[in-house]
Amino acid sequence: MSSAAVTTTQKSLKYQLKSVEKVPVKIWGDSNDASIHIARSIALAIRQKQQEGEQIVLGLATGSSPIGVYKELVRMHREEDLSFSNVITFNLDEYYPMKPKAQQSYVYFMNEYLFDHIDIDPKNINIPDGTIGMEEVEEYCRQYEEKIDLVGGIDIQLLGIGRTGHIGFNEPGSWRDSTTRLVRLDGITRRDAIKDFGTAEAVPYRAITMGIASIMKARTVYLMAWGQHKAEILQKAIEGPISMTIPSTFLQEHPNVKVIVDKAAATELTRIKTPWLIGMCNWNDDLMCQAVIWLSQKTGKSILLLTDNDYNEHHLSDLIIEYKSSYELNIKVHNQLQDTITGWPGGKPNANDSRRPERATPAKKRIIIFSPHPDDDVISMGGTFLRLVEQGHDVHVAYQTSGNIAVHDYDALRYIEWMQEFGATYDLLKEDKKDLFAKAAKILRAKQNSQKNSLEVRQIKGMIRRGEARAGARFCGLKDSQIHFLDMPFYETGTTRKKPLGKADVQIIKDLITEIKPHQVYAAGDLADPHGTHRVCLNAIFEAFTALQNEKWMKDCWLWLYRGAWHEWPVHEIEMAVPLSPMELYKKRRAIFMHQSQKDTPPFPGNDEREFWERAEDRNKATAAQYRALGLSQYEAIEAFRRWKF
């Protein structure tokens, strides 16, 4: 395509984008860079107001979305003299009832991530009070609203978006003209909050929140969304009709809203998912493959049955012009998908590997499977794990974190009591161990679910998870010397909020990679999970790879990413598909069953009621069904991987 044609294409795409996306959206490669961009815009506004001798009013959010912004603001305060002396803040919301000292309170959150580290005048901080009596709430909310108006209104409002489409705690059903008030939390929002409160029962039913009208009065609004789990609701908020069933759609009427998202959160936007529906595309092989798979799914026909007419009727006639005919296009994509399928994830010895996902040599590879939590290895790639061992590779598994907060207190107590009784019966326990068990038992008996796990409790829970992980890895055929527990320090907080990735974390990963010098590394590629453990664990591996990139042996080291329990790679992104027979799938299930503390109702089930083994099977079967529907062979299940190239 000539450059003039490309420019016209891009212009027309930009023009048509406006009719699809009803608010300006900027997509960033990664949530860190995006957060830094927002923080810098805020800092600029603070400094401008300082020069004018004026105050600035910020509307602040909590939750995982703004953490990166606060981190950068704190850094700028420490390293670049950014002062907050002229800043007044109003937080969007607070649970009700809620004591400010409780770990789950938004007061605690704001102090931890921002206020304790900057020079803001405490008198300028406003957060809805979760302790006031029910009879006073209405008047309190009226005054909160009045206070915002009295200081001249909010200059910059930060927002996250909930999976219900809420902004603040304005849940579906919120009116456009709602102001600060007491609200009931949606069931989905309460389920999402279990990770902070420990149990469903502990999550409050209510909250005080600024209203839609309060938010709409802000002069500038930043809506942030990171991660795949936000993709679906974000698409509705940006492209859907304005409706109180998705309160964030009201932002479409705001004159100065900026939506800032990362790639994962943008995946459902039309311009990413089906850009050919918006206008002309700059075609390349990846986009072509995505379009053909979409067309096949849309028409319900396998790829080789797609006709010129199908392409023409679905906005894809360009593709036929670009690739000559549907016949050639179909064969190209069909073969490409066929080449992803292999029963030899470690490479097939003595075979021509030019069209295979992995190299044939060396026939016996050294392999590390990194597992962020102690059960991700078997949940996400148990079938492939079993195969790699059976096919004679030197497989090591490395459990990156202890996973020690995800054991129920009652399970930990049961183990301790057994140990105490067993130890006493055979007089086996040394004094220090007796003390540890007695102390941990005492703490557990008095502990509320939502309380932080003490060091003693974490030690016990960590041992439980180690035992399960060992059993799972052994079931897959590993010797004890091939099982590594890395206990990365960032995880060891005793709560769901983790420390940022540190040098010590990366060093641990580097040391193991240097020791094994692997040909293959498998890692959890949950780019979708910006602040969660999986993402931190992946960043540690990326940093280790970068630090080791000049080592000669690293040239032979390939990194394969698997996805965690919830999402699979979309088919057009899969580069290695490992089919599982019904028996292999059953064996994988048994490996997952070794993780007894995670069975039935695990402490952190996320927003999915199925058990982990059910999610894994459903997902692997769904991938196989998709391959089948596209016209490839029928398999019971498929595990999928994508190669990460630096």
168 touches ligand F6R by CB under 6 A: yes
CA gap 395, 124 in Å, rounded: 57
Half-sphere exposure of 340 (CA within 13 A, CB side): 24
92 touches ligand F6R by CB under 6 A: yes
Residue corresponding to tokens 């402490």:
603
Nearer to ligand F6R among residue 161 and residue 303 (C-beta): 161
C-beta separation of 572 from 157 below 8 A? no
C-beta separation of 9 from 282 below 8 A? yes
CA gap 621, 597 in Å, rounded: 25
- From the list 17-25, 58-66, 79-87, 490-498, the region that binds ligand F6R by CB under 6 A is 58-66
169 touches ligand F6R by CB under 6 A: yes
64 touches ligand F6R by CB under 6 A: yes
61 touches ligand F6R by CB under 6 A: yes
Sheet of strand 206-209, all strands in order from the earlier edge strand to the far edge? 93-96, 206-209, 181-184
166 touches ligand F6R by CB under 6 A: yes
Going by C-alpha positions, the residue among 353, 373, 35, 405 that lies closest to residue 196 is 405
CA gap 200, 359 in Å, rounded: 48
Nearer to ligand F6R among residue 167 and residue 280 (C-beta): 167
Nearer to ligand F6R among residue 233 and residue 419 (C-beta): 233
Nearer to ligand F6R among residue 61 and residue 333 (C-beta): 61
Nearer to ligand F6R among residue 69 and residue 521 (C-beta): 69
C-beta separation of 635 from 628 below 8 A? yes
- From the list 147-155, 157-165, 239-247, 248-256, the region that binds ligand F6R by CB under 6 A is 157-165
- From the list 48-56, 70-78, 163-171, 320-328, the region that binds ligand F6R by CB under 6 A is 163-171
CA gap 621, 588 in Å, rounded: 13
Q: Provide the 10 A C-beta neighbour count for residue 594.
A: 21
Residues annotated as catalytic are 171
Among 63, 128, 165, 564, binds ligand F6R (CB under 6 A): 63
Name the E strands within 433-592: 483-485, 520-524, 558-562, 576-580
Beta bridge partner(s), residue 170: 167
Q: Min. distance of Cβ 497 from ligand F6R in angstroms? A: 11
Q: Min. distance of Cβ 324 from ligand F6R in angstroms? A: 46
289 touches ligand F6R by CB under 6 A: no
Nearer to ligand F6R among residue 57 and residue 407 (C-beta): 57
- From the list 47-55, 56-64, 382-390, 490-498, the region that binds ligand F6R by CB under 6 A is 56-64
Q: Looking at beta carbons, which pairs linking 475-478 to residues 24 or more positions away fall under 8 Å?
A: 475/590, 475/591, 475/594, 476/378, 476/382, 476/385, 476/386, 476/389, 476/397, 476/591, 477/386, 477/389, 477/390, 477/395, 478/389, 478/395, 478/396, 478/397
Residues in contact with ligand F6R, counted by CB under 6 A, come to a total of: 14
Nearer to ligand F6R among residue 214 and residue 402 (C-beta): 214
Q: Min. distance of Cβ 596 from ligand F6R in angstroms? A: 30
162 touches ligand F6R by CB under 6 A: yes
- From the list 60-68, 130-138, 242-250, 268-276, the region that binds ligand F6R by CB under 6 A is 60-68
Runs of H (alpha helix) within 21-136:
31-51, 67-80, 106-113
62 touches ligand F6R by CB under 6 A: yes
CA gap 100, 107 in Å, rounded: 5
Among 93, 375, 377, 529, binds ligand F6R (CB under 6 A): 93
Name the residues that contact ligand F6R, by CB under 6 A.
Answer: 61-65, 92-93, 160-162, 166-169
